[in-house]
Structure 1
Amino acid sequence: MAQVPLAKKMSEEQSDSKRQSVHILNPHLEKMDEDILYHFALGTGTHDFPAMFSDVKFVCVGGSPSRMKSFAQYIAVELELGDSKTDIPNICAGTDRYAMYKVGPVLSVSHGMGIPSISIMLHELLKLLHYSKCSNVTIIRIGTSGGVGVEPGSVVITSQSVDATFKPQFEQMILGKTVVRNTELDPGLIQELVQCSKEINEFNTVIGNTMCTMDFYEGQARLDGAFCSYTEEAKIEYLKTAYEAGVRNIEMESSVFAAMCNISGLRAAVVCVTLLNRLEGDQISSPHDILVHHQQRPQKLVGFFIKKHFSNPGMSF
C-alpha cells in the first residue's frame, strides 16, 4: 500500500505543533539490552520499531482479532490506502494472543476480553509506541457493550469509566497493596467524536459513564449464568441505580484502558455500541445481520473522525 504520502502529510501538519511523546514510567527498562514484547512476538533486538511504527498517530483497539482486521480494511478504504480486498498482514502473526494491523499512520490491535487481557496488551503496546518514538498519538477503544436504559444499537461515548460501585476509579493490587488510578477520558476528544456523530447522523449516540466489571455474568447482574444468588427484582434495582449514577453501558475493559492511557499521557476515548438494553433482558437475541450492522457503528464513527483529521490540516493531533 502507498503509505508514504499520507505519513509525509501527517509530519508536515505536526511540524509546528507541540510533540507529545508516550510516557513510560519504568526506570528498569533502561537497564535492559533487549525488550521482548512476548505477546506480540516482537522485540527491540529483532525489529526496527521506529522504521515500522514511528508514523503512527491513531491506535484503535478492540476485543476481536477479526473485527480489528475488518476495521483495518475499512480505514484503508476511507483513507484511500487500499480497497476492501486489500490484504493487510498481521504484524503479530508469530503469536495467537493478539493481532495487529497497520494502515498508514493507523494501528489496529486486538486486546481480547476482560481487564487482564487488555492490560497485558496495553503494557506492550505502550512500550512499542515509546520505542518507536511516536508522538501525538490518539488511542480509541471500539467495541460492544450492554446498554443500560438506551436502545440497542446506540453508540456510547464514555465520559468516565466507573467500577461496580459507580466510582470513577480502577483498583489494582501491586505488591499486596491497593493502588487506585483515575479513569476519566479526554473531554476534548469526546466532544470531537460527538460532533462527528452529528455529522454522520445515522445512529443514536450518547455520552455516559461506562461500568467496567470483572465478569460477564454475576458481575454484570445477569440472571442467566451458571450461578446466581440474587433475585430479578434486586438486579433491576441495581441497574436502575447504575442508570441514576450516569451509567449508560457495561463492558469489561474501559477502566484499565482509561487508567493506563492517563498515566502514559495519551489522548484516549472509548466508543462502544450497545447490543441490548439490560433493563429488558440478559441475552443477546438480535439476528446476526442486525448485530453485524450495529458492530460496524463504532468503526464508522471512529473512521469518520480519523478521516476528518486528515482532510482538515487545522485540527490538532
Structure 2
Amino acid sequence: MGKTKNRVHLPVIVHNPYLGGLKEDILYHLSLGTGTHNLPALFGDVKFVCVGGSARRMKEFIEHIAAELGIQDPKSNYPNICAGTDRYAMYKVGPVLSVSHGIGIPSISIMLHELIKLLHHARCTDVTIIRIGTSGGIGLEPGTVVVTKQSVDAKLVPKFEQLILGELVVRDTDLDYGLAEELLRSSKELGQFNTVMGNTMCTLDFYEGQGRLDGAFCLYTEEDKHKYLTKAREAGVCNIEMESAAFAAMCKLSGLRAAVVCTTLVDRLKGDQLNISHDVLHSYQQRPQILVGYYIKKQIKAREAIPK
C-alpha cells in the first residue's frame, strides 16, 4: 500500500497585530464575541462558507444544503445565529456556514472583517468561501450562471481601490482559478442550466455606476451605455454586481480559497429593468444554490473517503 500524504491544514490569516492585545474581541455586527461565545466549539468544524446578499436566500441555502447532506432536523427551524442584530443573518449546518452580507462593498466589507476574525478565533482550517448571488448579464440569456474568473472594477481593471487613512490602497482581486474550474465542471455534471466562466465587473452603484437608463439621474445617452457595455463584453466581462472586488481582495489577504457564483437576471444589452415573474426570478436565484450545494456535497464525500 502507498503512503497517504499528510494534509497541510491552512489557517485563516488575519493581518492585525493589535488583535492579540484585546481582552475581548467583540464582533459587533454579528452579535458574537470571544468573551461571550466559545467560537472554537461553535464554529471550529466549518470548512465551507457561503455568503450572499439576502438573509432570506441564505436561510433557503442552509435548508437546501441540509437536505443535500442528509442532516435535516425536522425539529430545527435553523435559527439565526446573529439574531441579536438586524444587520446580518447567519446559519450553520454541519461544516457549512451561510451568511448574508447585504448590498454593496461597504456592507460586505464589514461582514467579512468580522467573519474572517470569527474563523480565525475559531481556529478553522482549509476553509473554502463562495459568494452566491444575482447579477446583470452582458450578452447572456437571463438565468445563465456565471462563475467568476476575475473581478474587475468599472474601469475594467482587476483591482480593488480603498482609501485608508486618506491614502489610496490598491489590492489584487484574484480568485481561486482551480476552484472556479471545479465549479464549472460540477455544473456540467448537473446539466440543469447553462453555466459559463468569465470576468465579473464590480461597481459602486446599481444605477449610474452600471450605466442604467432607468435611475433618478441619467446624464448620458443610450448609445453611451451600449458602447460601454460592449467594451466590457469585449474585455471578457460576463456580468455586473456590487461585491466581488472587495470579496476577492479580502479573501486573498486571509488565505481563503474563494469563488463567486452569480446567476444573471437580465441581459443589460437588451434592457435594464427586471420584468420577469416572481416564480421565474426565484428559480433563477436558486441556481447558484443548487450548483454550490452539489459541489459542497461532492467535496465532503471526497474528504470522508480520504484515510485519516
Q: Same fold (TM over 0.5)?
A: yes
Q: CA deviation at 1:178?
A: 0.5
- Is 1:71 paired with 2:68? no
Q: Distance in 2 between matches of 1:199 and 1:176?
A: 48
Q: Distance in 2 between matches of 1:304 and 1:84?
A: 22
Q: Distance in 2 between matches of 1:310 and 1:97?
A: 30
Alpha-carbon contact 1:74-1:84 (below 8 Å) kept: no
- Within the candidate set 27, 31, 36, 1:41 is matched to 31
What corresponds to 1:292 in structure 2?
282
* One-letter code aligned to 1:233: E
Q: CA deviation at 1:51?
A: 0.4
Percent identity for Structure 1 against Structure 2: 66
Name segments (4+ residues, structure 1) moved above 3 Å.
83-86
| Cα deviations by residue, 1:215-245 (Å, 9 ceiling, x for unpaired) | 0000000000000000000000100000001
- Secondary structure of 1:27's partner? coil
- Is 1:202 paired with 2:202? no
Distance 1:84 1:144, change over 3 A: farther
* One-letter code aligned to 1:267: R
| Cα deviations by residue, 1:98-132 (Å, 9 ceiling, x for unpaired) | 00000000000000000000000000000000000
Alpha-carbon contact 1:73-1:86 (below 8 Å) kept: no
- Secondary structure of 1:275's partner? strand
Q: CA deviation at 1:15?
A: 9.4
What corresponds to 2:164 in structure 1?
174
Alpha-carbon contact 1:73-1:84 (below 8 Å) kept: no
- Within the candidate set 246, 249, 261, 1:256 is matched to 246
Task: Note the 1:12-161 alignment, pairs <5 A.
Answer: 16-82=6-72, 86-161=76-151
| Cα deviations by residue, 1:159-218 (Å, 9 ceiling, x for unpaired) | 110000100000000111110000011011011001100000111111010000000000
- Is 1:222 paired with 2:251? no
What corresponds to 1:238 in structure 2?
228
Alpha carbon RMSD of aligned pairs, Å?
1.3
| Cα deviations by residue, 1:256-311 (Å, 9 ceiling, x for unpaired) | 00000000000000000000100000000011100000100000000000000122
Alpha-carbon contact 1:211-1:250 (below 8 Å) kept: yes
Q: CA deviation at 1:83?
A: 5.8
| Cα deviations by residue, 1:33-91 (Å, 9 ceiling, x for unpaired) | 00100000111000000000000000000000000000000000000110688410100
Normalised TM-score (structure 2): 0.96
- Within the candidate set 173, 179, 187, 2:177 is matched to 187
What corresponds to 2:262 in structure 1?
272
- Secondary structure of 2:18's partner? helix
* One-letter code aligned to 1:225: G
Q: Distance in 2 between matches of 1:83 and 1:145?
A: 32
Alpha-carbon contact 1:152-1:275 (below 8 Å) kept: yes
- Is 1:247 paired with 2:237? yes
Distance 1:117 1:220, change over 3 A: same
What corresponds to 2:203 in structure 1?
213
* One-letter code aligned to 1:219: G
- Secondary structure of 1:210's partner? strand
Q: CA deviation at 1:312?
A: 1.8
Q: Distance in 2 between matches of 1:107 and 1:256?
A: 20
* One-letter code aligned to 1:109: V
| Cα deviations by residue, 1:133-164 (Å, 9 ceiling, x for unpaired) | 00000000000000011110000000110000
Q: Distance in 2 between matches of 1:34 and 1:310?
A: 33
Normalised TM-score (structure 1): 0.93
Comparing 199-208 with 77-86, which one deviates more in the overlay?
77-86
Alpha-carbon contact 1:77-1:83 (below 8 Å) kept: no
- Secondary structure of 1:92's partner? coil
Distance 1:25 1:312, change over 3 A: same
* One-letter code aligned to 1:265: G
* One-letter code aligned to 2:240: I
Q: Distance in 2 between matches of 1:260 and 1:240?
A: 29
Q: Distance in 2 between matches of 1:184 and 1:206?
A: 18
Q: Which runs of 5+ in 1 are unaligned?
A: 1-13
